[in-house]
Amino acid sequence: MQFSILKNQIQGLFKNSASSVMLLASISVVSTSASAIVSYDLKNMGLAATIDGRPISQHLLDRFIVIAKKGDATTPPNQVLQRIIDDDLLAAYARSRFEADDLIKNSKVAFSSKVQIQQSLSANIVAAFGSEMMAEAKKRTGSDKPNYGQTARHLMTDDDWKKLLSDQPEVRLEYRLMPLGQKFAEQLVLRRYRFDANTQGTVTMADVYESQHMQGKFQIHQKDKEYTDQQAQVLMERQYAIHWLEHRSGLTPLEVNAFKQIVVDRLQTQGYLEHIGVAADIHAEIVYLKKMASEVTPEEIKDFYQSHLDMFIRVDRVKARHIRTKDEAIAKEAVAALKQGKSFADVAKQYSIADDRQNGGDLGWVVHPETGSNWLQSLLFFQTVDKVSNPFRMPGKPNDAVDWEIVLVEQKETSYQPVTSESVRYVASQAIAKQKVMQEYLDARARVWNQANIHIRPDLVLSMKFPDEEIHEEAHTH
């Protein structure tokens, strides 16, 4: 089980952009209006760049190139360097504007900010130094089975679980240890390790519990012995990775600190973009964006409305026909007949069981109601004119025998929603807020680059295009 757990952390580096374990990987670029003043005047081949006097050594850059290439083998060195500089500048800007907990979220459901940083740091270390770490760990045992310094392992017993969870309340609103359980967890050692003559330590049950998100705590409260043991191993391996970075990586103390800061900068930059709504999940509730939307003025809404009328088209009424069948098989027969060129009216007379079948399924003009529409009306208003729909199963329970509908909209009359309507206000204010947030982000990015004192080696000329994988497509709309 050793090291395989630590090794598996790398996989988290290259998943979705909302993950807390983010990295300099999968870099894509987009042009920006920023025109940063960068001096390409460094002569020392051991120095890749300086950012306001802070050095980025070539040795450090090489390690992040290794990491980036695990996500995209074609990533050039100058893009990796640009990402490092970009995150350095944006993270510093974000820290000047927001609290730390706004940038790396703490919540009862997710991992704590401390755990997120440890996860990302250890995963980056493994990505950068994994092969060397594995080789040394195998050398410890003289076999293919690595040893990462473990000297003792304790598996949870029934008595341990009893002491850990005995004072839990019957009604639980959240997962947490009670005072007696917490005291016992702090004393219960699940792992002992020695990394070298000067470095030894322990992983306690309290360490494991505090490193969990809500689902992990649920597993522990379910007395999952294997899960708890695995998490103790994870924590020990994370400590080993950090020890490796600090003592065996070949990086200087200054480079080690820079490595750690680069990882934190990435997390905080991503957190900043999520916090303001630029890189948030499409369904996320963004307080910052919501506040900005609430401040949009009626004049702004009116201007947006007039410039984006196509967003506010509504269907007033449709002229339509339909075919209703008792099951899907007959509905498919009707569709096949329509595809052979028969008229909709004739097919309705032949296959429909609706009362209007003798009129060719003619529904006449169906008006959009002011309040709630029925199922068939809703179906009609979303159809394309002169295009026969696929068969639709009418609402009902999965095993119920229900009818099927095929519809054809022959004409559609539309108008624009009133500018004073609530739907216009909501849609326009959200769109305007997203525009403002995106512009705020782009302005901030351009400003921090222009204000920075950046020196780079001439062979690492930046493209002055910025990574854009964290920006959702809808942010560029309108």
- Between residues 194 and 146, the one the model is more confident about: 194
pLDDT of residue 33: 41
DSSP 193-214: EEEETTEEEEEEHHHHHHT--H
Widest CA span in the chain? 93
Note the pLDDT of residue 301.
Answer: 97
In the three-class reduction of DSSP (H, G, I as helix; E, B as strand; rest coil), residue 383 is classed as coil
pLDDT at residue 110, as a whole number: 81
403 CB burial (10 A radius; 0-12, 13-18, 19+): middle
Query: Going by C-beta distance under 8 Å and a sequence separation of 6 or more, which residues neighbour residue 353?
Result: 324, 325, 326, 403
- Which is it for the CA torsion 137, 141, 144, 150, positive or negative? negative
pLDDT for position 143: 67
Nearest to 185 by CA among 216, 215, 161, 169: 161
Q: How far apart are CA 307 and CA 379, in angstroms?
A: 29
pLDDT, position 149: 87
Whether 221 has a pLDDT exceeding 60, the answer reads: yes
- Return the higher-pLDDT residue of 434 and 31: 434
Cβ neighbours of 450 (radius 10 Å): 11
> Residue 231: CB partners within 8 Å, gap ≥ 6?
208, 211, 212, 216
Domain borders along the chain are 4-282+453-476
Average model confidence (pLDDT) for the chain? Answer: 87
What pLDDT digit, counting tens, does each position of 130-161 carry?
888 888 877 776 667 777 789 999 999 999 99
Q: What is the pLDDT of residues 303-349, one digit of tens each?
A: 999 999 999 999 999 999 999 999 999 999 999 999 999 999 999 99
The pLDDT confidence band at residue 175, using thresholds 50, 70 and 90, is: confident
Question: Going by C-beta distance under 8 Å and a sequence separation of 6 or more, which residues neighbour residue 313?
Answer: 414, 415, 416, 417
If one compares 285 and 96, the residue with the highest pLDDT of the two is 96
What are 90-103's pLDDT values in tens digits?
Answer: 999 999 999 988 89
pTM above 0.85, yes or no: no
